[in-house]
Amino acid sequence: MSELGATPTTAQKAAAEAIGTFVLVLLGCGSIVYAREVGAISTITTIALAFGLAMMAMVHTFGRVSGGHFNPATTLAMVLGGRLAWREVPAYVGAQLAGAVAAAAVLLALLQGFVGFESGDGLAQNAFGDQGSGYAAWSAFLLEMLLTAVMVGVVLAATDTRQEHRALAPVVVGLTLAACYAVALPATGASLNPARSIGPGLLSGADAVLQLWLFVLAPLLGAAVAGLAYPMLFGHDAEPVAGSGVPRRAPRSTSSADDAARADPLQQAPIIQDGWQWDPVAHQWRPLDQAPPAHRGDDDGRTQVRP
């Protein structure tokens, strides 16, 4: 058991992300399928608020542990924005996907309580084209990417340590998610979250699985844009976390002798070819039997002669 005030462990962060994503998918998608099964009219506002309120509650509850992402797109933006190390991404994303799939499985089991329920009816999976509202694939892609960038940008701003009213972050994030869902629900069923799409999609039949690519790729691209643009426009709120940001190839390691030789040309091994020796100071070839002048001034003005 961790000590009081200790930094949350990776296991604790993963547990928080799994539970938060589970609740988000269960309540959000449940608001759609339960209303459908009982023949009730579930309005866009009702569904959007279900997702938004669930997000608000989970961010308030688990934000202190993991940051309250519950979305692989948000995790990607946090890494690119310098707030999370790449080494933590597998734990975050794995937990989010596990929570979403578990929520979809529980929802599927609970729906068996309705007489005549058929799994082919779906679990509020996302869709486009003929499988959905008829909305074209390119339009769906742009819509999901744009709204994800908006939502993630708000998350980055609301959780910025320079923000005067950070305690309101759960409310701001939840209401923003609800507003984005109100726009996207009629067109794509609203994803903005690869985990929210993958969980119900995997248990809703082959057609839903074949369309998952759009609801994974578009949110991730939107989040990448927001994650890179926010620190460029507004700066980092703190020193970037080690191992975060855009991955760069590590420089080739060199020995101290190589570094010294590179810093002082006179310490390099002589280059000799066909009776001539390269003078690294004068940058010219000299006969091998002719000693090159090696006069150079040191810090106190005296002349130092090197053979």
Could you write out the three-class secondary structure of 191-225? CCCHHHHHHHHHCCCHHHHHCHHHHHHHHHHHHHH
Q: Which amino acid is at 177?
A: L
The encoded tokens of residue 188 equal 């794509």
Model pLDDT, residue 36: 85
Residue 8 DSSP one-character state = P
Rounded CA separation 45/184 (Å): 12
Its CATH class, for the domain covering 10-113+137-234, is mainly alpha
Q: Between residues 290 and 229, which one has the greater pLDDT?
A: 229
Model pLDDT, residue 152: 98
pTM of the predicted model, to two decimals? 0.80
Give burial (CB, 10 Å; 0-12/13-18/19+) of 248.
exposed
Rounded CA separation 72/220 (Å): 8
How confident is the model over 128-139, as a mean pLDDT? 94
Give the CA-trace dihedral at 138, 144, 146, 151, to 10 degrees. 180
Q: Which amino acid is at 178?
A: A
pLDDT-based confidence at residue 31 (cuts at 50, 70, 90):
very high
CB 71 within 8 A of CB 22: no
Q: Given a cut of 50, is residue 19 above it in pLDDT?
A: yes
Q: Between residues 191 and 293, which one has the greater pLDDT?
A: 191
CB 66 within 8 A of CB 16: yes
Closest CA to 18 of 83, 78, 103, 85: 103
Q: Given a cut of 80, is residue 275 above it in pLDDT?
A: no
Give burial (CB, 10 Å; 0-12/13-18/19+) of 219.
buried
Q: Between residues 265 and 276, which one has the greater pLDDT?
A: 276
Q: Given a cut of 60, is residue 266 above it in pLDDT?
A: no
How confident is the model over 41-62, as a mean pLDDT? 94
Domain locations in the chain? Answer: 10-113+137-234, 267-305
Model pLDDT, residue 291: 57
pLDDT-based confidence at residue 270 (cuts at 50, 70, 90):
confident
